[in-house]
C-alpha cells in the first residue's frame, strides 16, 4: 500500500511538470482513484474567509455532484472541523453522528442523490493568500468506514498534491502551457476551455472573462465543432486521452 503511494507521488510530480493546474488536478484525481479504495473525489480551492468552493475538480461522480456541493458549503458540518484541523483529515463521523447525518436535510440534498455514504476530507490553508485547498474522498457503502490508515494516507497525499498544484500555478504564470489538442482553438476559446475545466458554469465563465453568457455559448459551440465532440463530458474525455 505504501509502495503504491510512493509510486503515485512520483507520478504526481511528473504530471505537475507537464500539465497546467486545471488539467493536473483532474489527472491527479484520476490516478488517486486507482490507488485508494474510494468511489469518487473532489479537489477544490477558495477563499477561506467566505468558505466558498472554487476551482473544483471532480472524478468518479457526476459533475453536478460538485456543483451541488458548492450550494451547501455553509451548511456542511465538516467545514468548521476542517478549519480547526489544519491539514489533518476529518471523517464526517467526527463532525456529526451517523444517525443525525443520514437523517438530515443536508445529507438528503447533498449526498443521498449520489449514494454517497462516507466522507473523508482534509483542508490546507495557504498562509499568505488565505486560500484553502480541500480534498474530499467518498465511499458509497456505509460499512466501508474510513480507518486511521486511510486518514494518514490522505494527509500525506494532500501535502504532495498541494505542492504539485502550487508548482503548476507558478509555471502557468511564467510559461502558459497549451495542450496539443487545443492548438486548433483561438486564445479566447482556450480560455473558455480552461474555465470549463474548473467546473465553472456558463454565467461564471462569462463573468470571469468579461463576456456575455451568449458569447460564451457561441464559443462553446465553435469549440465543440473544432474538436469534434458533442459536449462537456466528451470534451473532458478527449482532453484526458
* DSSP output for 163-219: HHHHHHHHHHHHS----GGGTTS-HHHHHHHHHHTTT--HHHHHHHTT--HHHHHHH
* Residue after which a domain boundary falls, among 155, 174, 193: 174
As given in the structure block, the three cell numbers for residue 85 are 484541523
pLDDT tens track for 19-30: 777 788 888 999
Fill in the DSSP letter of residue 42.
E
**Contacts of residue 238, Cβ cutoff 8 Å, sequence gap at least 6:** 181, 227, 229
CATH number of the domain where residue 211 is located: 1.10.10.10
Residue 175 has pLDDT above 60, yes or no: no
Helix (H, G, I), strand (E, B) or coil at 67: helix
DSSP-derived secondary structure letter, 56: E
Q: Are the beta carbons of 220 and 194 closer than 8 angstroms? A: no
- Residue at which a domain ends, from 129, 153, 174: 174
pLDDT band at 1 (very low <50, low <70, confident <90, very high): confident
What's the mean pLDDT when you consider all of the chain?
A: 86
> Residues 65, 153: one domain?
yes
Neighbours of 111 (CB within 10 A): 23
Q: Can you tell me whether residue 62 is helix, strand or coil?
A: coil
Out of 86-100, 143-157, 166-180, 187-201, pick the least confident: 166-180
Q: Do 161 and 184 belong together in one domain?
A: no
| Beta strand ranges found along the chain (DSSP E) | 40-47, 54-59, 90-91, 118-125, 131-139
Structure confidence by residue, pLDDT tens digits, 192-212 = 888 887 778 888 888 888 889
Round to whole Å and give the CA distance between 134 and 241: 26
Rounded to whole angstroms, how far apart are CA atoms 24 and 198?
Answer: 11
| Vertex 70: Cα angle to 30 and 222 (nearest 5) | 65
pTM over 0.85: no
Residues 40 and 156 in one domain: yes
Average pLDDT, stretch 55-73? 87
Cell of 180: 496539443
Do 48 and 117 share a domain, yes or no? yes
Asked if residue 186 and residue 139 are part of one domain, the reply reads no
Its domain, for residue 216, covers 180-239
Q: 16 and 122: one domain?
A: yes
- The CATH number of residue 110's host domain is 3.30.450.80
Let me know whether 63 and 130 are in one domain: yes
Structurally, the chain folds into a number of domains equal to 2
Q: Quick one: 33 and 95 in the same domain?
A: yes
Tell whether 18 and 66 lie within a shared domain: yes
Amino acid at each position: 500500500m505504501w509502495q503504491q503511494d510512493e509510486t503515485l507521488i512520483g507520478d504526481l510530480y511528473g504530471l505537475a511538470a507537464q500539465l497546467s493546474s486545471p488539467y493536473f488536478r483532474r489527472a491527479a484525481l484520476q490516478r488517486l482513484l486507482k490507488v485508494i479504495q474510494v468511489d469518487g473525489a473532489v479537489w477544490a480551492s477558495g477563499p477561506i474567509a467566505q468558505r466558498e468552493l472554487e476551482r473544483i475538480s471532480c472524478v468518479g461522480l457526476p459533475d453536478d455532484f460538485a456543483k451541488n456541493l458548492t450550494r451547501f458549503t455553509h451548511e456542511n458540518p465538516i467545514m468548521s472541523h476542517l478549519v480547526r484541523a489544519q491539514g489533518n483529515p476529518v471523517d464526517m463521523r467526527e463532525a456529526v453522528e451517523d444517525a443525525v447525518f443520514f437523517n438530515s436535510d443536508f445529507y438528503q440534498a447533498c449526498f443521498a442523490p449520489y449514494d454517497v455514504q462516507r466522507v473523508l476530507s482534509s483542508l490546507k490553508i495557504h498562509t499568505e493568500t488565505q486560500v484553502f485547498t480541500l480534498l474530499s474522498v467518498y465511499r458509497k457503502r456505509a460499512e466501508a468506514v474510513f480507518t486511521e490508515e486511510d486518514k494518514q494516507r490522505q494527509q500525506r497525499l494532500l501535502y504532495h498534491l498541494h505542492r504539485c498544484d502550487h508548482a503548476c500555478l507558478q509555471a502557468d504564470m511564467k510559461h502558459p502551457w497549451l495542450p496539443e489538442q487545443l492548438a486548433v482553438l483561438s486564445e479566447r476559446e482556450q480560455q473558455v476551455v480552461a474555465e470549463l475545466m474548473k467546473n465553472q458554469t456558463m454565467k461564471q465563465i462569462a463573468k470571469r472573462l468579461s463576456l456575455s453568457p451568449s458569447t460564451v455559448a457561441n464559443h462553446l459551440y465553435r469549440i465543440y465543432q473544432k474538436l469534434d465532440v458533442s459536449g462537456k463530458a466528451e470534451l473532458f474525455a478527449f482532453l484526458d486521452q
